Amino acid sequence: MCSPQESGMTALSARMLTRSRSLGPGAGPRGCREEPGPLRRREAAAEARKSHSPVKRPRKAQRLRVAYEGSDSEKGEGAEPLKVPVWEPQDWQQQLVNIRAMRNKKDAPVDHLGTEHCYDSSAPPKVRRYQVLLSLMLSSQTKDQVTAGAMQRLRARGLTVDSILQTDDATLGKLIYPVGFWRSKVKYIKQTSAILQQHYGGDIPASVAELVALPGVGPKMAHLAMAVAWGTVSGIAVDTHVHRIANRLRWTKKATKSPEETRAALEEWLPRELWHEINGLLVGFGQQTCLPVRPRCHTCLNQALCPAAQGL
């Protein structure tokens, strides 16, 4: 049997234990240690892992690249440049449709007597290319009918690099007369033929830069030679007809003073797939309708769309 003192101690211990359990784990008197339960062990392990895990740094915000309009100082770093709209003439597409309709018969001098019809199609490729270049050199400041006649006389004697070099200047002059500036062309033809024989094996160069370096060969001739002789569209061939009509239709941002200036202006906006067509189309149109003097505006389908026609 327990003494009254022992019984009192037992009751006190029982009350303390009951209070401790009601407060939950770890709520006993300070200095008293009791065995941790499963939940307490799991919490302690989690705290230990947390204290040893590496510190996570905040993620760096990603910069979005956005193209926008603004001055150079306002544009964000790495911004993609905006595409600048290409200038194009008003109503040019309808004007082109109308010109095609007026040229559908293909009955202008250029359609039958132009460069494409002046060479001997049965000759070897190298000879054909030489004849194309020669016809272009003769065509400068000369009507197609006169150029075609001169080429016919030259071909009748066998038109090759060697045959031209063996022909004296006086005879060559008589054969090409009355092409424009025929005396100068005799000299240019002889010089160019000698260069072709010495440096190109009797063939013609296959680049615009080399072609325009030849005596008597200009940019228009070079681009046409590339197209007709080599089958390569290197640029728009602009002669006096194309130069005149492009300015009348306002197909350039501002008035141009030379065919070469017109070529550069047209190539800025005219779709490349039209470059090969535009020369023959406008040359024939200029020969038949949009004449240098007294253009036939009353018969032109573009009369209402042509700025030049409004002042006539």
Which strand (E) or helix (H) includes residue 191?
helix 182-199
Question: pLDDT digit of tens for each residue in the chain (312 aa)?
Answer: 445 454 445 444 544 444 444 444 444 444 434 444 544 555 555 555 554 555 555 555 555 444 444 444 444 555 556 666 689 999 999 999 999 999 999 999 999 999 999 999 999 999 999 999 999 999 999 999 999 999 999 999 999 999 999 999 999 999 999 999 999 999 999 999 999 999 999 999 999 999 999 999 999 999 999 999 999 999 999 999 999 999 999 999 999 999 999 999 999 999 999 999 999 999 999 999 999 999 999 999 999 999 999 866
Q: How far apart are CA 242 and CA 248, in angstroms?
A: 10
User: What value does the CA radius of gyration of the chain take, rounded to a whole number of Å?
Assistant: 45
On whether the CB atoms of residues 132 and 147 are closer than 8 A, the answer is no
Catalytic status, residue 220: yes
| Helical axes 240-248 vs 259-267, angle rounded to 10° | 60
Q: What is the pLDDT of residue 14?
A: 45
Q: What is the pLDDT of residue 86?
A: 84
Q: What is the pLDDT of residue 68?
A: 40
The CATH architecture one would assign to domain 90-104+235-297 is: Orthogonal Bundle (1.10)
Check 220, 253, 254, 257 and give the catalytic one.
Answer: 220
User: pLDDT per residue over 207-242, tens digit each?
Assistant: 999 999 999 999 999 999 999 999 999 999 999 999
Q: How many CB atoms lie within 10 A of CB 155?
A: 18
Q: How far apart are CA 7 and CA 17, in angstroms?
A: 16
Report DSSP letters for 238-272, one per residue: --HHHHHHHHHTT-SSS--SSHHHHHHHHHTTS-G
Report DSSP letters for the chain, one per residue: ---HHHHHHHHHHHHHHHHHHHH-TT-S-TT------HHHHHHHHHHHHHHHSPPPPPPPPPPPP------TTTSPTTPPPPPPPPP--TTHHHHHHHHHHHTTT--SHHHHHSGGGTS-TTS-HHHHHHHHHHHHHHHTTS-HHHHHHHHHHHHHT--SHHHHHTS-HHHHHHHHTTSTTHHHHHHHHHHHHHHHHHHSTTS--SSHHHHHTSTT--HHHHHHHHHHHS----S----HHHHHHHHHTT-SSS--SSHHHHHHHHHTTS-GGGHHHHHHHHHHHHHHTS-SSS--GGG-TTTTT-TGGGG-
Q: How many CB atoms lie within 10 A of CB 71?
A: 6
For 235, the token pair is: 């640029």
On whether the CB atoms of residues 180 and 239 are closer than 8 A, the answer is no
On whether the CB atoms of residues 244 and 286 are closer than 8 A, the answer is yes
CATH 1.10.340.30 fits 117-228, yes or no: yes
Domain residues of the chain, as ranges? 90-104+235-297, 117-228
For 67, the token pair is: 């193209």
